[in-house]
Amino acid sequence: METILSTKNERVKNWKKLQTKKGREQAGAYLIEGIHLIDEAIKNQASISELIISEDKQLNLDIDYPVEKQILVSAEISKQLSETETSQGVFAVLQMLVPENDPDLTKPLLFLDNVQDPGNVGTMIRTADAAGFGGVVLGKGSVDLYNSKVIRSMQGSHFHLPIYQGDLQEWFDLMKATKIPVYGTELNETAACYLTIPRAKQFALVMGNEGNGLSEDFLKQTTKNLYIPIVGQAESLNVAVAAGILMFALTEGY
């Protein structure tokens, strides 16, 4: 097992660069932290290039990964790499995931239009995984998939279903060409209550920005825009909560 104790080591500097979007894009890699996420990565055969363990946590860890490929680091290095309040002292460097296959159009898809809160994005991806969706598309303006808060919120769901990033207009065009309905979310007189929409195996659900909602351009292109009735005094629902309700309500099989 290799040991690195100096915070000035070049490898350590490279790991710290992965805490920024620019650094991740340049390296084509990202950093995950914690036993659960690393176990998920190993179980799903993710491309792990380095497994990093803090020397003060080594004896408390039980990770099914070759010892000769592990790197032992000082507690100070671990502290600099951690982005959590109570670190478990274990990290892994993974290659970014690029979906290789065409999207599975036999299952529902979730589109995110300019959704910027990392916790919301991670929660929606995790919920899409739980609801049996075929994939998630992060449109332009949405938070970086490999933001550490997104990674923690997903809890490994990005290992289970493909996450695409790109221009949502292309996906709208694909749905139109394949005659798959696209449902937006909007609260106005022309929108339909989600309870009136029949469950289906094939559809796309689009969720918009936390403050501004779905863009006007996309609202005009949807098959139907939906709303969730609010019977209390709250003005609106959190976007991730709304997405969760709709994903399970619209999907055939529940």
Q: What is the pLDDT of residue 28?
A: 96
Q: So what CATH class is 2-95?
A: alpha beta
Q: What is the pLDDT of residue 69?
A: 80
Instruction: Give the domain ranges of the chain.
Output: 2-95, 108-250
Q: Which residues contact 26 (CB under 8 A, 6 or more apart)?
A: 17
d(CA 142, CA 116): 5
Strands 90-95 and 48-54: what pairing? Answer: antiparallel
DSSP 159: G
Q: What is the pLDDT of residue 172?
A: 97
DSSP 28: T
Q: In the chain, which residues have pLDDT < 70? A: 58-61, 254
- Single-letter code of the amino acid located at 187: L
Read off the tokens for 20.
């920024």
Read off the tokens for 235.
């003005």
Q: What is the pLDDT of residue 90?
A: 94
Domain 108-250 sits in CATH 3.40.1280.10: yes
Q: What is the pLDDT of residue 61?
A: 67
* Fold agreement (2-95, 108-250): no
115: nearest Cα among 65, 163, 47: 163
3-state secondary structure of 24: helix
CA-based torsion, 27, 31, 37, 43: positive or negative: positive
